[in-house]
Chain A
């Protein structure tokens, strides 16, 4: 990493700071009455999380980078943009299993971005890949009697996800709950945010089948679409897809929809890593950045 600021950085910083100062000056002069009114009424207004006003009145510009850290805590940047760029620099151009160096770099980016501990390997177990093509799965029966008409929490969900249908068989670990009455939110979320991974291709699976099956059951994972930065905490609730499909994992309709991934000729890759969450603190579902 260079120790000295480059010429282009110094030039741009000076130029853009000056531009903003001029804009601020013009803004406050031209619309003085409105800002004076705002200032005198600010106690009556709920000025809180509003980045909108903060950015206008912030004195950080002439101070950059000295006070940047404090400002950044108040006004978070679009982390997705950083994530996309950082991953673009690390990932290979073709979709293939990552080598150990790439894997380490990706984990560092994900740890840093999402503030959680992600692992390619846990308890000596790893998947065949952490970077692969994701395919579309169907809904899974959560309890005996669950069907496509009783499956959804809201009419909107039904309208959106009904078309994907129910898988003809049960998940690799059968039902998520014994009955509708005993089904918890966690059970329901495990089906909603599930992925199917190729457990059977994990190195060592055949030699330690029961240990692996137990390990993978509802194992929490982080799935990231590296092309749009969308990420979700999901769980492993099924095994698949078959190797011949050319796909490496499958996502529930809810997972695919959120990640904006599609099956068939439009299929695209995702990153998927185990999450080390021994106290089960992290909830399944989309992650906001």
Chain B
């Protein structure tokens, strides 16, 4: 089965889902936050990849990305970026950590508001 994003196999989002689920929010709000999580990861990954590529290679990457051709996209990245897999994985980890910290902060806000 084809993955949704070319880096889907590198992302584990269950912990984020469960953290968000622990917030006392409506179901649609949960979905909205997950969508924001997804787009932040996506933009960060694409940005990290583009930073590593030459002007011509960027075009090839964007072409494969726009066509959803993950196989060619990975062939291209593996040729042009050393340890592409690991670099993308590190980017995802970094952004995820940051977003998880944001959730922790948001939980503290909730506690503060309850104490009033």
Contact B40 A51 (CB under 8 A): no
Contact A13 B36 (CB under 8 A): yes
> Taking the complex as formed, is A70 at the interface, i.e. its CB lies under 8 A from any CB of chain B?
no
For the complex formed, measure the closest distance between the CB of A207 and the CB atoms of chain B, giving whole angstroms.
Answer: 44
> Taking the complex as formed, is A77 at the interface, i.e. its CB lies under 8 A from any CB of chain B?
yes
Contact A27 B50 (CB under 8 A): yes
Which of the segments A56-64, A134-142, A236-244 contacts the partner chain? A56-64
Q: Which residues of B contact A13 (CB under 8 A)?
A: 29, 32-33, 36
> Taking the complex as formed, is B14 at the interface, i.e. its CB lies under 8 A from any CB of chain A?
yes
Known: A47-B66, A52-B68, A77-B35. A16 touches B99 (CB 8 A): yes
Known: A11-B109, A16-B37, A64-B36. A52 touches B66 (CB 8 A): yes
Contact B66 A20 (CB under 8 A): no
Q: Which residues of B contact A45 (CB under 8 A)?
A: 63, 66-67
Residue of B nearest to A65 (CB): B32
Contact A16 B102 (CB under 8 A): yes
Contact partner of B33 (CB less than 8 A), chosen from A12, A33, A72, A75, is A12
> Taking the complex as formed, is B74 at the interface, i.e. its CB lies under 8 A from any CB of chain A?
no
The dominant DSSP class at the A interface is: helix
> Taking the complex as formed, is B28 at the interface, i.e. its CB lies under 8 A from any CB of chain A?
yes
Q: Which residues of B contact A41 (CB under 8 A)?
A: 63
Question: Which residues in chain A, 38-89, are within 8 Å of chain B measured between CB atoms?
Answer: 38, 41-42, 45-53, 55-56, 58, 60-61, 64-65, 68, 71-72, 75-78, 81-82, 84-85
Known: A12-B106, A52-B6. A5 touches B25 (CB 8 A): yes
For the complex formed, measure the closest distance between the CB of A238 and the CB atoms of chain B, giving whole angstroms.
Answer: 28
Question: Which residues in chain A, 232-288, are within 8 Å of chain B measured between CB atoms?
Answer: 288
Contact partner of A56 (CB less than 8 A), chosen from B43, B55, B59, is B43
Contact partner of B18 (CB less than 8 A), chosen from A16, A26, A48, A85, is A85
Contact B50 A288 (CB under 8 A): no
- CA gap between A42 and B62 in the complex, in Å: 10
Q: Which residues of B contact A35 (CB under 8 A)?
A: 62
> Taking the complex as formed, is B34 at the interface, i.e. its CB lies under 8 A from any CB of chain A?
yes
For the complex formed, measure the closest distance between the CB of A85 and the CB atoms of chain B, giving whole angstroms.
Answer: 6
Further pairs besides A5-B25, A27-B47: 13, Cβ < 8 Å: A6-B110, A13-B29, A13-B33, A20-B43, A24-B43, A26-B47, A45-B63, A46-B67, A50-B66, A52-B46, A52-B66, A68-B28, A77-B31
- Please report A residues at the B interface, Cβ cutoff 8 Å: 1-2, 5-9, 11-13, 15-17, 19-20, 23-24, 26-27, 30-31, 33-35, 37-38, 41-42, 45-53, 55-56, 58, 60-61, 64-65, 68, 71-72, 75-78, 81-82, 84-85, 288
